[in-house]
A and B are shown apart, each in its own frame.
Chain A
Amino acid sequence: MGWILVTSATVILFLQNYPLYIRSVPTENELKFHYMVHTSLDVVDEKISAMGKALVDQRELYLGLLYPTEDYKVYGYVTNSKVKFVMVVDSSNTALRDNEIRSMFRKLHNSYTDVMCNPFYNPGDRIQSRAFDGMVTSMMIQVC
């Protein structure tokens, strides 16, 4: 299992409930995002387990808004292999609607798949792919 987090331009991605990739734009208070994403995993777990009961086949990968906080909105996405992407977005950013978030996650997922296709990438290692980095950066710029 793994995750990605994006905040008002931040991405984190993990495996086995530890981060595979973390990016946040206001880097000065990164630990805050760590806590935020860490606690959001409870919701992700809950949603996944609830989903597992319902529709296994045509499952929606997008988990939607995990929970809102005063300043941020936390969105989740889970792949079929239980890699979790978490995105934290500034709640003041009204331009981002559900559809945009969804398409961002899809892009992230595609890029992640590319990383996994790299035969030199060891599943479970931190992602250090430049292509992935670039994609996340472009996404953040777009959001800001």
Chain B
Amino acid sequence: MSVPDYMQCAEDHQTLLVVVQPVGIVSEENFFKIYKRISSVSQISVRDSQRVLYIRYRHHYPPENNEWGDFQTHRKVVGLITITDCFSAKDWPQTFEKFHVQKEIYGSTLYDSRLFVFGLQGEIAEQPRTDVAFYPGYEDCGTVEKRIEDFIESLFIVLESKRLDRATDKSGDKIPLLCVPFEKKDFVGLDTDSRHYKKRCQGRMRKHVGDLCLQAGMLQDSLVHYHMSVELLRSVNDFLWLGAALEGLCSASVIYHYPGGTGGKTGARRFQGSSLPAEAANRHRPGAQEVLIDPGALTTNGINPDTSAEIGRAKNCLSPEDIIDKYKEAISYYSKYKNAGVIELEACVKAVRVLAIQKRSMEASEFLQNAVYINLRQLSEEEKIQRYSILSELYELIGFHRKSAFFKRVAAMQCVAPSISEPGWRACYKLLLETLPGYSLSLDPQDFNKGTHRGWAAVQMRLLHELVYASRRMGNPALSVRHLSFLLQTMLDFLSDQEKKDVTQSLENYTSKCPGTMELITLPDGLTLPPVPFTKLPIVRHVKLLNLPASLRPQKMKSLLGQSVSTKSPFIYSPIIAHNRGEERNRKIDFQWVQGDVCEVQLMVYNPMPFELRVENMGLLTSGVEFESLPAALSLPAESGLYPVTLVGVPQTTGTIAVNGYHTTVFGVFSDCLLDNLPGIKTSGSTVEVIPALPRLQISTSLPRSAHSLQPSSGDEISTNVSVQLYNGETQHLVVKLENIGMEPLEKLEVTSKLLTTKEKLYGDFLSWKLEETLAQFPLQPGKVATFTVSIKVKLDFSCQENLLQDLSDDSISVSGFPLCSPFRQVVRPRVESKPVNPAEGSRPGDLGHVKTLEAILNFKYSGGPGHIEGYYRNLSLGLHVEVEPSVFFTRVSTLPATSARQCHLLLDVFNSTEHELTVSARSNEELVLHAGECQRMAIQVDKFNFESFPESPGEKGQFANSKELEEERQEARGLEINSKLDIHWTIPSLKRTGEASVEGLLSQLVLEHLQLAPLLWDVLVDGQPCDREVAACRVGDPVRLEVRLTNRSPRSVGPFALGVVPFQDHQNGVHTYDLRHAVSFVGSGTFYLDKVRPSGQSACLGALLFLCTGDFFLRIRFHEDSSSKGLPPSWFRLPSVHVRALGTQA
């Protein structure tokens, strides 16, 4: 006996062994179909008793094991069922012959046999035979089970007769010595008459009867027989058989204690097949009633309610603890015989199963440990595998998962041992997979994402390597790629640098043949291998969705803003929302992406490998919106630090897009890494709204780009900067080319400008444009260009530079009311300080400081296409950097009254601060040539201004709460008015540049007052003709009517006034003659009276003069000193002087 049956369990002792075998050519499929049906009949209740017969079917049984049938009867083949195909009657004799040959093999032990013939029809089949059954086909054999039951009953009859025969066989007859095959030669020549020998025979026979009783379903009988046998054999030191008797005792006890069975699957089936355990216990009770001291008187009839039977049973049956002790004892006896190794091994296995049921793992492990050391003869490789597998299963059974995994792995390695000519890689792989739970290794990488590493990395790594190798040898490269990826992903922290290199190298080798995918691999036995995304190659630490660049950022129209403000919560801030961390990752980011525009996501990655990592095809995984991902390839240096990577893509539709992860190809393995599965990743939200497409505008200008970037204020981002250098007062046209480089028509454009805060005082409009011309070219189709012109006008005040002003301020502003006779006077005042600036001076640093800069931003708001309908626009900013150099400026301004009260002379000291010769021209005057650094005075006669007439909207006034500001504003407006009246231009002929010169900054309150029409407007009329400046002619002797009119435009009432008229003659040499009593006489009073004049009222008084001789006379109208005129500025009382030329009578 050399082939151990590792599936043995204690219950097998009560079974009858039936071998089912095919004869001739029977297809495996058909055979097992029938075998299955046959083996379903595994227990039979014998007709007229309550005993149950258990059958164990085998389709293969080594005949040498059969030889041990006397030792343990359940090893004896008692029934043979042969299955055969036979299609013609001609073949029948041959087939039948084969059946007989088959019977011969087990012939010595067979109780009965059957032949099942399939396919044969006809007269042979008609003959009724007990040992042959004919069936037309494998499908049509409904009575197989019935036949088997009959067959088993016939077996039972033989068994029962044998049992009774042996049991009663005690009187006188010589009891034969039962022995196992290897003992036979030991007993040659032994004295058969000795007491010792007799006892031995008796003991062995008792044991045999016990076996038979157990098989025949008489548990209690068997217990009694076993007990007796143990006593007998112990006395004669027949250890082998003593062991068998003890084991029989154990088996019977186990069957009694554990009706559910100990053999795992078969036990479970038996359990279901029978009924409740209580009932199963009842079934054994008939045996209990048969317990009598004299086994020979055993009968099966009647139920004896004698309680002594119960006592007897309890006495005979071993307790659970005893079972183990007896097993130990039995095994120790078996171990004395080298030839009984199989028996010992099987006993160990049986004991372990029992212990597993008893949950005594430690003791079970000792039995198993012993089993490991049982040395059978040289085992074949297949047997070794079987042995290790069963050891693994048994360890599993007692909960030693690691030990189980260890043996499973040994079995797997045995499958591919070098001594095997055809290594079974498939089996090896299958076994290796089964070891995974024992090493707490699952093939799902997700289990390794959270927390610390589970399990023992060193052994896990080894196992994974073996899996890789086995799957490769199996010829399934996809599988090995998957395992290798898994190894790399989960064991990265435990791999040494060299191992990392080796693993990646081999991974690359494999993937060159079979690239790694993200698909689930399903193994034939149903196990699925989830995909392994390389989330650690490279490791991503930070994911950030980037806003579009400022110039492409969509903005919502103001009118629609109200809707977006109303978010779901009515609170501006709520701690509950702020701390809702679960939503953090899915939080919507408060900017938008635009359909059709390239959007970016920034990842911070690093490479944990000790060599350069090439990541190919890295792109984004998104959902919600159709998204065209534009993959990138990158190469990360060895053990790089955090490295920014920008992944881009273009959303093709609108909606809400969620960035779920990214995909990569590393070492030929495709990975889809989802952010949710990445541990320790930082993200500021991954959901963004995509709005409909908008056009894109590109601007280019006529001016050179500037390296000088503006300081962006209040979050403005400037896309382009241009710079220009201008002389003060110059105007330049900036041509902006607007090109629509997007895919949508540009429908709407708005332009605004913003001057960056500057300390400089700026006069006039810095930037002005006419949008209409540009808008006429709209809508601008993609690819089309429109132009837009902006005028840049710089007017700054350079006059405040102290060094220049100092010496010029010595001339006090003349406020004299006297008119100058020479209306246009040029004063060339050579000054030491203001001599022509020599070149050296011109380049001194102080002069550079004169250059002033102005910065402004032009904002282009544009929109179009579907995005416009949704109410979005884009904003493009153009930065403008203007350097202003001083051109001409006025160092001093003063006024001189002109001859007319409504005019005056403005005296301007003009200074040329450029290095070029320039000419200055006022509106109506000739040009004044100024050399570099030269200062000249120019006088311009101007009409006085009526500033009050400027319309000033009351609303605007209201805005200036501060009266000072209001005043400034007003002054500015005045300056503008004055400037436009004066219209002073300069020209640099050498540079061909022209510009305006401005006086605004210089106009002091005093000068302004002079330039302003007084609120009291005095008119003198001579003979009804308004007289101002012009000479009024009259005749000598005729009375001349003189009328003084006052128009009050001041806001209050004035007067009354008394005016006196003083005539005088000017000799043009500085001498005035006032004594003119003989030349001029008044008609009536020489004093005029004016009544009180209300605001905007008018009043007049009349008088007359008589000129007595010819000549030029001047009339000065003077106010009498009167309290009423006090408190009013003197300039209000400026009356024009009247020049009358008295002519002689007509002669």
Contact = CB atoms under 8 A, between A and B. Distances in A.
Contacts of A31: 458-459, 462
B365 A67 contact: yes
B406 interface: yes
A34 interface: yes
A94 to B, nearest CB: 21
Interface string A23-50: 0000000110011001101110011001
Contact of B365 (A16, A22, A34, A43): A43
Interface string B1039-1068: 000000000000000000000000000000
B403 A17 contact: no
B454 A35 contact: no
B365 A124 contact: no
Interface residues of A, number: 20
A18 interface: yes
Contacts of B454: 16-18
Main secondary structure of the interface of B (DSSP, over half): helix
Nearest to A50: B362
Main secondary structure of the interface of A (DSSP, over half): helix
A47 B362 contact: yes
A35 B435 CA distance: 13
B403 A42 contact: yes
Contacts of A34: 456, 458-459, 462
Contact of B400 (A16, A22, A43): A43
B400 A46 contact: yes
B482 interface: no
Given A42-B399, A46-B361, A19 B458 contact: yes
Given A38-B406, A39-B406, A46 B399 contact: yes
Nearest to B410: A35
Contacts of A14: 456
Contacts of B459: 31, 34-35, 38
For B440, B454, B455, B459, which residue has the most chain A Cβ atoms within 10 angstroms?
Answer: B459
A38 B362 contact: no
A38 B362 CA distance: 17
Interface in B179-209: none
Interface in A92-113: none
Contacts of B402: 38-39, 41-42
B457 interface: yes
Contacts of B395: 42
Contacts of A50: 362
Interface in A66-119: 67
A16 B403 CA distance: 18
A124 B452 contact: yes
Given A39-B403, A41-B402, A46-B400, A18 B361 contact: no
For A22, A43, A47, which residue has the most chain B Cβ atoms within 10 angstroms?
Answer: A43
Contacts of A42: 365, 395, 399-403
B401 A18 contact: no
A41 B404 CA distance: 12
A72 B677 CA distance: 44
B455 A17 contact: yes
B130 interface: no
For A19, A31, A35, A41, which residue has the most chain B Cβ atoms within 10 angstroms?
Answer: A35
A50 B452 CA distance: 28
A30 B361 CA distance: 28
A5 to B, nearest CB: 11
Interface string B456-489: 1111001000000000000000000000000000
B269 interface: no
A138 to B, nearest CB: 25
B453 interface: yes
Interface in B721-776: none
A18 B362 contact: no
B369 interface: yes
A50 B400 CA distance: 14
Contacts of A17: 440, 454-456
Contacts of A30: 458
Interface in B383-410: 395, 399-403, 406
For A19, A31, A38, A46, which residue has the most chain B Cβ atoms within 10 angstroms?
Answer: A38
B455 A18 contact: yes
B364 to A, nearest CB: 10
A51 to B, nearest CB: 11
Nearest to A37: B456
Interface string B352-364: 0000000001100
A50 B439 CA distance: 22
Nearest to A40: B402
A16 B452 contact: yes
A18 B457 contact: yes
Nearest to A47: B362
B406 A43 contact: no
Contacts of A124: 452
A143 to B, nearest CB: 23
Contacts of B365: 42-43, 46, 67
B452 A67 contact: no
10 contacts: A14-B456, A18-B455, A19-B458, A22-B458, A31-B462, A34-B458, A35-B406, A38-B456, A38-B459, A42-B403
**A-B pairs, 7 with minimum CB distance:** A42-B400, A39-B403, A39-B406, A42-B402, A34-B458, A39-B402, A42-B403
Given A19-B456, A31-B459, A34-B459, 10 more contacts: A17-B440, A17-B455, A18-B457, A31-B458, A35-B406, A38-B456, A42-B395, A42-B401, A67-B365, A124-B452
